[in-house]
Amino acid sequence: MKDAEYYKKLGFKCGLEIHQRLATREKLFCSCSTDLENDMKVGTVERRQRAVAGELGVIDRSTSFESSRGRSFVYNVFRKSSCLVDIDEEPPHGVNDDAVETAIRFASAFNARIPDEIEPMRKEVVDGSDPSAFQRSMMVAYDGRLQVNGRTIPITSIFLEEESSGIEGQSGGSVVYNVDRIGIPLIEIDTDPSIQTPKEAAEVALRIGLTLRLTGRKEGDAVSSEVQRGIGTIRQDVNVSILGGTRVEVKGLQEIESMALFIENEVERQLRLIELKKALIQRHAVVDRDTKELTDLLGHEKGRIIADSLSRGGIALGARLQGFAGHLGAEINPDRRLGSEISDYARMAGVRGIIHSDEDLQKYGLSYETIKVIGDKLGVRKGDAFILIVADRQQCEKAMKFALDRAAMALSEVPPETRAVADSKKGTTRFMRPLPGGSRMYPETDALPIEVRSDYIKSITQHTIYLDQRISNVEAGLSNRQIGEQMVYSQHLPLYEYIISKVKGINLVVATTLLEKLKELERAGIDTNISRDVFVDIFGRYSKGEITKAGIGEVMRYSPESARDVTRIIKEKSLERISGERLRKMVEELTAQGGKDIIREMMSRHRLNIDGEELNKLVGDRK
C-alpha cells in the first residue's frame, strides 16, 4: 500500500506553491482594471527577448534555454485591462497599496515574519509570458506556519507578485499571449518540502486555499473578500522529488481533487526513469551526436507528416541511440514514454515532435525497406534505436540538438524540470522548461522599496478576521450545521455576511436562498448579478413580511438593479405577501365554498404570496 511509510522509504519530498489572484480593483503596478470581462482587443505588438545575466553575472539555465529557442512573441493588447506599463513601454507606477495590505494580512494569517522593508525584485522569465522579460515579485513574509490535521507545515515564504499573461496560441517560431491579465496582483504561498504523502499535499493545498478565501478585511459588521474567485484564479504548483530522482516542479494544477494523482504519477515517473537509467547503463547505451541528413532517403515516402514537411522544403535528420531499443517506448506514466519526454524537448524548437524506432513506423508511411535504409545509414545495430525529425532546416537542427540533450540525460539523471499538465484526466505532465535556479533574480530598480512599520501591520491586523474566527462566526449564526459548512465553502460567504449584518434574524433563510436558489437561477442561465444592497433590500422586505420566502427567489429571477426595481417587480408580478386578516378571510371564503384540502388549494393558487408556516398555523388554529 502506498502509505506514509511507502513514501518515506522513497525519500519523498513535496512542497507546494499556491498562487492566488487578489481581488484588488487595479493591477499591482499600474491602474489598469483587473476585471477582464467584456474587454476589447486594441492591437498587437511583436517582441523578441533574450537572456541577460542576472544580478550575479550568471545566466540562469532556464532562461538561457528559452533564449536559445529564439522565438518571437506576439502580445494582444486590450483597452481597459492593459496599458503601456503592461507591454513594457512605461515604467511601473507606485505599488498598489491595497495589494500590499492584503499580502500583509495573509502573512499574519500564516504567522509569518514580515521584513521591515519589502524589496521589489525582477524574476527573469524568457518564455515570453511577460513583455518585460521579467515578473515583478517581492517577498512579503517568511518563516510562517500552518496547522493541517494536527501537523505543523512550515510556510517558508509569501510573495506578492504580478500575474503573467495568458497564452493564446503558438505557431511556428512565435507565441501569442494576451496581456489583459498581466500584472494582476497574486499572492504566492510556499510550503517547505516536508509534506509526507500525495494525499497530505492536497489537504495542505485545501487548507491554504481556505485560509486565503476566508481571511478578510472587517468593514463594520461585514467582511470584504480579498481574493478573486473562479476558474484560473488559483493555481497550485507542486515540487516533488525522491531519492535518486530530482526536484521537479509540476505547474498550474487547478483542481485539488486531482493533485494527489499528479504527485503519485510524478513519483512513478521518477522511479521509472531511475530504473531506465540503470538499464541503459547496463547496456552501455550511448547517445550518438553524429546526426545524419536523411532527406533523400525519405523523398519518395507517402506518409502525410513526412511528405508535407519535405514538400515545404524541410529536411529530415536522424540520429542513432545506441542501446536504447525498447526503452524509448516503455511506459513511464500512463501513455507517456521516454520517447514522449524526448519529443517534448524537440518540440521546444517548434517542431511537431520526433519519430522513434520503438514506435509503429508504418503509421508515418515508412516502408520496411526505408526503415532498413535509415538504419543502415545511421549504423543502427541490434539493441540500438534511432530518432528522426522532419522540419525546416533551422528548426530541425535545433530540435535534434534538444532531443539528443534529453536522450543523454536519460543516462545520467532525472532532469530538474518545470513540467506542465499534459493530460488532466490521467494526471500526466510534460516538459515545459528546465527548473530555474537562483540566478534569475535582480532588483526592480524602477520601483521603490516598501517600508513596513509595525504600526502599519497593527492597523491591518486589527481589521482582519482570521479563518477560525470566521468559520465559528458563520457556524454560530446558523443552527443547521450542514448549511453552516456549505456556507463556509461558498463563494457567496461575503455576501451572506453582508446581508445578515444588515438584516437581522433571518440567517438561515439568507443562507439557503444564496446556497440553493441562487445556484438554481444560475443553472437556468438567469443573470444573478444583483448588487449586495439590492439583496439587502429584498431580504429586508421578507423580514418585514412584505414578501414570502418563495417571493425572494421570484424577485431575484428578474435581476433588479435598485430598490425601486424591487418595488416594481413585486407589483408587476403580484408578489405581495398575503397574510394576517386578509389570509384569514381567504381561508374562510374557501372553506365556505366547500374547499377540502384548504392548505393545498391555497398554496397551489398563491404559492408565491403565502407563507406556508403562517397558513398551517391559521388552518390548524381553526381546527
The residue (of 9 and 41) whose beta carbon lies closer to another protein is 41
In the complex, minimum distance from the CB of residue 84 to another protein, in angstroms, rounded to a whole number: 7
C-alpha cell at 567: 418595488
- Give me the least distance between CB of 568 and another protein, in Å please: 50
**Identity of residue 15:** G
Minimum distance of another protein from residue 86's CB (angstroms): 12
- Which residue lies nearer to another protein by CB, 70 or 612? 70
Alpha helices by DSSP H, 171-303:
198-214, 259-282, 295-298
**Which 448-507 residues touch another protein, going by CB under 8 A?**
448-449, 451
Beta strands in 300-449 (DSSP E): 315-322, 331-333, 336-337, 355-356, 385-391, 417-423, 428-434, 441-443
Q: Residue 56 contacts by C-beta under 8 Å, 6 or more apart in sequence? A: 439
Q: Quick one: which of 24, 33, 34, 63 contacts another protein (CB under 8 A)?
A: 63
Nearest to 115 by CA among 162, 163, 152, 160: 160
Nearer Cβ to another protein (131/560): 131
| Helix, strand, or coil (residue 281) | helix
Burial (CB count within 10 angstroms: exposed 0-12, middle 13-18, buried 19+), residue 452: buried
Q: Does residue 321 sit in helix, strand or coil?
A: strand
What residues form DSSP beta bridges with 620?
none
> Does residue 168 belong to the site contacting another protein (CB under 8 A)?
no
CB of 131 to another protein, least distance (A): 6
- In terms of Cβ atoms closer than 10 Å to its own Cβ (0-12, 13-18, 19+), residue 235 is middle
Q: Which of residues 280-319 bind another protein (CB under 8 A)?
A: none
**Residue 187 binds to another protein (criterion: CB under 8 A):** no
Q: Are residues 309 and 335 in contact, defined by beta-carbon separation less than 8 angstroms?
A: no
Q: How far is the CB of 132 from another protein (least distance, A)?
A: 5
| Nearest to 257, CA basis, from 211, 225, 209 | 209
Query: CB under 8 A: which stretch of 50-58, 310-318, 390-398, 609-617 binds another protein?
Result: 50-58
Is residue 590 part of the contact set for another protein (CB under 8 A)? no
34: amino acid identity, one letter: T
Q: Which long-range contacts (CB under 8 A, 24 or more apart) does 580-586 make?
A: 583/610, 583/614, 583/615, 583/618, 584/618
- Choose, by CB under 8 A, the member of 10, 36, 39, 53 that binds another protein: 53
Comparing CB distances to another protein, the nearer of 371 and 441 is 441
Shortest Cβ 484–another protein spacing (Å) = 38
For residue 388, give the DSSP letter: E
Residue 55 binding another protein, by CB under 8 A: yes
| The only residue of 103, 133, 351, 465 in contact with another protein, by rule CB under 8 A | 133
* Contact flag: residue 48 with another protein (CB under 8 A): yes
Which C-beta is closer to another protein: that of 177 or that of 498? 177
Q: Does 612 bind another protein (CB under 8 A)?
A: no
Pick the stretch among 49-57, 144-152, 332-340, 501-509 that binds another protein (CB under 8 A): 49-57
- Smallest distance from the beta carbon of 219 to another protein, in angstroms? 31
Give residue 444's region: left, alpha or beta (phi > 0; psi -120 to 50): beta
Confirm or reject binding of residue 134 to another protein (CB under 8 A).
Answer: yes
Of 298, 303, 342, the closest CA to residue 317 belongs to 298
- What kind and span of H or E run contains 595? none
Q: Which one among 33, 132, 357, 464 touches another protein, defined by CB under 8 A?
A: 132
Report the C-alpha gap between 24 and 33 in whole angstroms: 9
Secondary element (H or E) of residue 248: strand 248-253
Beta bridge pairs of residue 458: none
Cell 403562517 sits on residue: 614
Q: Which stretch binds another protein (CB under 8 A): 117-125, 207-215, 249-257, 542-550?
A: 117-125
Candidates 124, 226, 341, 537: give the one binding another protein (CB under 8 A). Answer: 124
Q: Which residues contact 458 (CB under 8 A, 6 or more apart)?
A: none
Strands 248-253 and 417-423: parallel
Size of the site for another protein (CB under 8 A): 54
CB 75 within 8 A of CB 179: yes
Q: Is 119 in the site for another protein (CB under 8 A)?
A: yes
User: What H or E segment, with its residue span, contains residue 304?
Assistant: helix 304-311
**Least distance to another protein, CB of residue 63, Å:** 7
193 binding another protein? (CB under 8 A): no
- Nearest approach, Cβ of 413 to another protein (angstroms)? 22
Q: Single out the residue of 37, 38, 40, 57 in contact with another protein (rule: CB under 8 A).
A: 57
Min CB(247)–another protein separation in Å: 14
Which positions from 75 to 114 touch another protein by CB under 8 A, shown as an x/- string?
---------x--xxxxx---------------------x-
Residues at the interface with another protein (CB under 8 A): 44-53, 55-57, 63, 67, 72, 84, 87-91, 113, 115-119, 121-124, 126, 131-134, 137-139, 142-143, 157, 159, 438-443, 445, 448-449, 451
